[in-house]
Structure 1
Amino acid sequence: MKTVTIKDESLTGQLISEIEVALENERITVKELITARVYAEVEAYNQKLPEYFNGLVQPNDAEKTLNGYKLKQKRTIDPEKQVYIAWDAFQKNGYFVLVDDEQAESLEQEVLISDSTSISFVKLTPLVGG
């Protein structure tokens, strides 16, 4: 088991948040990296059920707010559904994944995780009216 810190950053490189994620192998695909990240954040949310979910992608039946995603009713989130939403968002350029400052190109791309590996997720903000 290897633990890695994943950072969420703005397009300008500003740190938004961090999450620790446990990975089973040093060599993984981007798809496995996204899956591990989503499962970690959903598990953390489901244990406490706070008012807002601050995850990679918006859950179904949730409203986007300044503080995160607010679910219409407090409930646990299905991590498997979130993973599929996250994979789809990656393929539609909803966010970038940077591993050691190199942009991941596909879900099947393999990356090698070491103690010095830097992983960042950069969410893209859609333009209003465009």
Structure 2
Amino acid sequence: MPMITIADEVTGAPSGPVWTMKVFEDEVRLDELIRRRVFLEIAASGVDADPEERTRTTLDAFGRNAFVVLVDDRQVTALDEKVRLHAGSCVTFLKLVPLVGG
């Protein structure tokens, strides 16, 4: 069961938190990967939150281009796209910051 790295980044800011996560398959749909990441973040933070509601909010944000997902430096553009994972894969959630005035 391979371990992958999950990282948060914001353009123009220091890197955010990094987690490791076990995966049980070689391919997973992006929406499922996002769901797992949300559940991982909530568990790590200890915050009392509804993970299903937070997942819906996060998937909606992806649809509005609030962030992009990079898997091993390759952008994944569709929620139903299957991504290949292997031991050592790095999944980066990159929050996009609009240009001033844009």
Instruction: Give the TM-score normalised by the residue count of structure 1.
Output: 0.69
Structure 2: 5+ residue runs without aligned partners? none
Task: Work out whether 1:118 is the aligned partner of 2:90.
Answer: yes
Q: In the alignment, what sits opposite 2:73?
A: 101
> Stretches of 4+ moved more than 4 A in 1?
none
Task: Work out whether 1:11 is the aligned partner of 2:11.
Answer: yes
1:93 partner letter: N
Q: In the alignment, what sits opposite 1:36?
A: 36
Question: After superposition, what is the alpha-carbon deviation per residue over 1:40-67, rounded to whole angstroms, capped at 9, x for unaligned?
Answer: 1112223xx4xxxxxxxxxxxxxxxxxx
Q: Is the 8 A contact 2:3 2:88 kept in 1?
A: no
2:91 partner letter: I
**Greater Rg over alpha carbons, structure:** 1
Aligned length: 102
**Greater relative contact order, per chain length (Cα 8 Å cut-off, separation 6+):** 2
The offset of 1:100, in angstroms, is: 1.3
Q: In the alignment, what sits opposite 1:62?
A: none
Task: Give identity over the alignment, percent.
Answer: 34
CA RMSD of aligned residues (A): 2.0
Instruction: Give the TM-score normalised by the residue count of structure 2.
Output: 0.85
Structure 1: 5+ residue runs without aligned partners? 50-75
